[in-house]
Amino acid sequence: MAMHNFTDLITACAWTSHDGRRSAIRKSIWQWCGKTKSVLVIDLFGFSKSSTDKASILDFLAVIRRMQAAARPLVWLNEGDIVKMEADNCFAVFDTPDQAVMAALDLGSASETIRRDEGLDLRLCCGIEHGEILYLEEEDFFGMPANAASRLGEDVANANEVLVGPGAVAALARHGEDWVVTPHPAGAVALAKDVICITRPIAKS
Other C-beta atoms lying within 10 Å of the C-beta of residue 149: 33
pLDDT tens digits, one per residue of 39-75: 999 998 766 555 555 546 777 788 888 888 999 999 9
Asked whether residue 106 is assigned to any structural domain, the reply reads yes
End-to-end CA distance of the chain: 51
Is 24 contained in some domain?
no
Q: Which residues form the domain of 175?
A: 33-199
How many other C-beta atoms lie within 10 A of the C-beta of residue 90? 27
The secondary structure of 54-73 as a DSSP string is: GGGHHHHHHHHHHHHHHHHH
Give which of 64, 42, 33, 26 is closest to 140, Cα–Cα: 33
Q: Are 107 and 42 in contact (CB under 8 A)?
A: yes
How many domains does the chain fold into?
1
The answer to whether residue 7 sits within a structural domain is no
Give the CATH number for residue 145: 3.30.70.1230
Which residues, 6+ apart, have CB-to-CB distance to 151 below 8 Å? 127, 190, 191
Residue 205 lies in a domain: no
Would you state the pLDDT for residue 154? Answer: 92
Whole-angstrom distance, CA of residue 44 vs CA of residue 64: 8
Tell me whether residue 2 is in a domain.
no
Distance CA 85, CA 159 (A): 19
Instruction: State the DSSP H helix or E strand holding residue 8, giving kind and residue range, or none if neither.
Output: helix 3-15
Q: Confirm if 171 and 131 have CB atoms less than 8 A apart.
A: no
Q: Mean pLDDT for the chain?
A: 85
Helices (H) and strands (E) in the chain, counts: 8, 8
What pLDDT, on a 0 to 100 scale, did the predictor assign at position 177? 59
Ranges of the chain whose pLDDT falls below 50:
1, 55, 205
Burial (CB count <10 Å: 0-12, 13-18, 19+), residue 69: exposed
Q: Domain for residue 18, yes or no?
A: no
Residue 3 lies in a domain: no
Question: Is 5 inside a domain boundary?
Answer: no
